[in-house]
Structure 1
Amino acid sequence: MADLWTDEQIAAGLGKLAGWARSGESIERTAELANFPTAIQVVNRVAEIAESVNHHPDIDIRWRKLTFRLSTHSAGGLTEKDFSLAEQIDGVIDAV
């Protein structure tokens, strides 16, 4: 099981991620894409990454607006897995 991060580690991790914020025991980011097909393209790419690392975000799709929410449920909070996946999600969003 992954080790839970301390409040200090979480703050430092968020300091390296643009657009992400803590929400309880999760971190989240909302991104507005150019259009619905582009938003779904991002969701599909994030799904591939999530499957490859066996760590899955909650994703809310509202037309072209996507909200990603990350938490390591098996650990009961935030871990390295969440911040690593957040970086990869940022990369996908930046690439479109």
Structure 2
Amino acid sequence: MSDAISAADFRAAAGTDDWRVLDQRATATFRTGSFTTGVQLVEAIGELAEAANHHPDVDLRYGTVVVRLTSHDVGGLSERDVALAVQVSQAARELDVPADATAAAGLTIAIDVLDGAAVQPFWRAVLGYEEMTGSDPDDAAPALVDPAGSRPTVWFQQMDAPREQRNRIHLDVYVGTDVAEQRVADAVAAGGRLVTDRYAPAWWVLADAEGNEACVCTWQEPADR
């Protein structure tokens, strides 16, 4: 286990110019220009990660490779992330792959709550998420993260007064047809309620204990069409 460092410490370290810190993770985007070059870069990153016994999240797309680094044992960044970031940037240069520091971006969904303990389990169940390691203890409830690392973080913000109208935003959660009904059942068991199943098996409308809504969706057509 290594000691945690701050975002400022990471940015101040030599060789991290390609990287930006977003939501406790160091992120770099490399413009590969082709899928084949992207695969070569990913293979190089894999070798470096295995040698360091420190494994980043890597997103391979046509023309880009996005790498995200964090140290789960400290709930943030560590010197291991600095070391691997420098090595990844060097590997990209050797393949003549430029970094695009301006492309770094992240997304967190904030949900206003009065009682975080009553609301958070619903979202953990309906999204299939896990609690974030190192969440701020002053938050209304621990933040939630996608185990696969590909979807946005969900954060809970403490409200001072109850909302007075129907929420104006909801989340659509797309799942396979073989898990949809179980996902709905898990969300209800975790403190949510079924608003309507009129459109099942295309989608079910659910709400948490304070009325924030989510739809569990599949590819199928509504039964009433």
1:61-76 to 2 correspondences below 5 Å: 61-76=60-75
Runs of 4+ in 1 over 4 A off after TM superposition: none
CA deviation digits over 1:22-78, x for unaligned, max 9? 101111000111311111001001101101110001001111200000000111110
The residue that corresponds to 2:94 in the other structure is 95
Change in 2 beyond 3 A, CA 1:73/1:10? same
Conservation of the 8 A alpha-carbon contact between 2:11 and 2:17: no
| Residue pairs, 1:1-96, within 5 angstroms | 1-13=1-13, 16-96=15-95
Residues 64 and 56 (structure 1 numbering): CA distance in 2 closer, same or farther, change over 3 Å? same
3-state DSSP of counterpart to 2:87? helix
Letter in 2 for 1:78: L
Structure 1 or 2, whichever has the larger Rg, is 2
Q: What one-letter code is carried by the residue in structure 1 that aligns with 2:18?
A: G
Q: Distance in 2 between matches of 1:72 and 1:36?
A: 28
Equivalent position amino acid for 2:52 in 1:
V
Under a length normalisation based on structure 2, what TM-score does the superposition of the two structures give?
0.40
Determine helix, strand or coil for the equivalent of 2:84.
Answer: helix
Cα displacement (A) at 1:7: 4.2
- Larger relative helix fraction: 1
Q: Could you tell me which amino acid in structure 1 is paired with residue 72 of structure 2?
A: H
Residues 1:90 and 1:80: Cα distance change in structure 2 (over 3 Å): same
**Structure 2: how far apart are the matches of 1:7 and 1:37?**
33
1-structure distance, mates of 2:31, 2:24: 24
* 2:57/2:67 contact within 8 Å kept: yes
Cα distance change of structure 1 residues 11 and 42 upon mapping to structure 2, 3 Å threshold: closer
Flag the structure with higher strand content: 2
Q: Is the 8 A contact 2:7 2:21 kept in 1?
A: no
Query: What 5-or-longer segments of structure 1 have no aligned partner?
Result: none
Equivalent-residue separation in structure 2 for 1:31 and 1:7 (angstroms): 21
**CA–CA separation in structure 1 for the residues paired with 2:59 and 2:26:** 14
Could you tell me how far apart the structure 1 residues matched to 2:52 and 2:11 are? Answer: 23
Identity, % of aligned positions? 32
Q: TM-score, normalised by structure 1?
A: 0.91
For CA contacts below 8 A with separation 6 or more, give which structure has more relative contact order: 1
